[in-house]
Amino acid sequence: MQPEYQVETWCKNCLFAEYTDNTQTGCKLGRHKIFNPEENTKEEDGVHAYVFDRFCTAFRPEEWKLVLDDEEKKDLVATVKSEIFPPLGIFMFLKTTVPNPLANLKNRIQEIKDQTAGTLRYIVVINDKVEYNEQIHSILHDSFDFEVTEFHIVQTLTQQRNLLFIDDAFKHAKNGWIYVTESNRKIRKDLFEAIDNNINVKLNRVVLVEPSDGIQGMIFQAAVHKFLDGSNSPIDPETGEKVRIDFIQKVKALAEKGEEKTVFTQEEFFNDAS
């Protein structure tokens, strides 16, 4: 008997299901190869459609076309891919201990604009020098349309780069994924595309991509950060004292309890994107 909490997708009424003689034989997005390699089906009214224990973000019923304009209807696969493209934000630490920090910031923004796919939803610049705030705001204002890409500044008082400052920046976060970087570190131009490829093509259950150095390059789900309360220390129910455990440790501890891989190294993640 299937547990009440088990997620299930049944492709019967999905526009992208492909049939031969009332039996599903494929998916226009190719997702069945990963979601349902054994091609399990469920029958109703003589129609046999795929069924599997994963949530499919690309499932679209016939009614979906009613909300699309004529241009979107021309290529439904491209339209749904656009709809499910992962929303992404960036937390960028302004590295003020290296030469030309503001020039570095401008370079990173240009790399964001030159991405091979997608559009940045928001950026938060974490800055430890008050005197740079006005110039940072001017650069962000001149670079982004706030209606498309929101921009914010978080002021810190030290040059440390740790997870607690990510907690401070998180008040500006939105649903989706967050990439953490420093302003003197180049952003690969296929970053957004790699995230989409992992989530929507490889269909990896990405919760966290571990940083390569300190916090550099970390990618994580905003919803998980909120659920785990970031790096805020939980209270030990027996002693009543705070337990020192950061966000990454919390995610790894949670991942160990599951069967699916949800935590990836940089190498695993970007190799999977190719």
State the Cα–Cα distance between residues 15 and 19, nearest whole angstrom.
11
> Which pLDDT belongs to residue 183?
97
Choose one of 27, 53, 80: the last residue of a domain: 80
Residues 128, 224: one domain?
yes
Residues 16, 126: one domain?
no
Distance of CA 156 to the CA centre of its chain: 25
> Which pLDDT belongs to residue 163?
85
| Residue 177 near residue 222, CB atoms below 8 Å | yes
| Alpha-helical segments (H) within the chain | 32-35, 70-73, 76-83, 101-113, 133-143, 163-169, 191-196, 222-227, 247-256, 266-272
Choose one of 80, 108, 133: the last residue of a domain: 80
Residues 58, 102: one domain?
no
Q: Is residue 27 a part of any domain in this protein?
A: yes
Phi, psi for residue 200 in degrees, rounded to 5: -105, -15
Average pLDDT, the chain: 92
The residue type of 61 is: P
> pTM for the whole thing?
0.90
State the Cα–Cα distance between residues 36 and 259, nearest whole angstrom.
17
> Which pLDDT belongs to residue 36?
95
The pLDDT tens digits for 207-255 are 999 999 889 999 999 999 999 999 887 666 666 666 678 899 999 999 9
Name 153's Cβ contacts closer than 8 Å, sequence gap at least 6: 124, 125, 126, 127, 133, 136, 137, 140
Distance of CA 111 to the CA centre of its chain: 18
Q: Is residue 4 a part of any domain in this protein?
A: no
pLDDT values of the chain reduced to their tens digit, one per residue, 274 residues: 445 567 899 999 999 999 999 999 999 999 999 999 999 999 999 999 999 999 999 999 999 999 999 999 999 999 999 999 999 999 999 999 999 999 999 999 999 999 999 999 999 999 999 999 999 999 999 999 999 999 999 999 877 777 889 999 999 999 999 999 999 999 999 999 999 999 999 999 999 999 998 899 999 999 999 999 998 876 666 666 666 788 999 999 999 998 889 999 999 999 855 4
Name 126's Cβ contacts closer than 8 Å, sequence gap at least 6: 91, 92, 93, 94, 153, 154, 156, 165, 168, 169
CA pseudo-torsion sign 205, 108, 227, 146: negative
> Which pLDDT belongs to residue 161?
72
Structural domain span for residue 44 = 9-80
Residues 138, 267: one domain?
yes
DSSP conformation class of 216: B
Residues 144, 165: one domain?
yes
Residues 114, 210: one domain?
yes
CATH of the domain at 265: 3.90.550.10
Residues 71, 105: one domain?
no
> Which pLDDT belongs to residue 238?
65
Residues 67, 126: one domain?
no
Residues 117, 16: one domain?
no
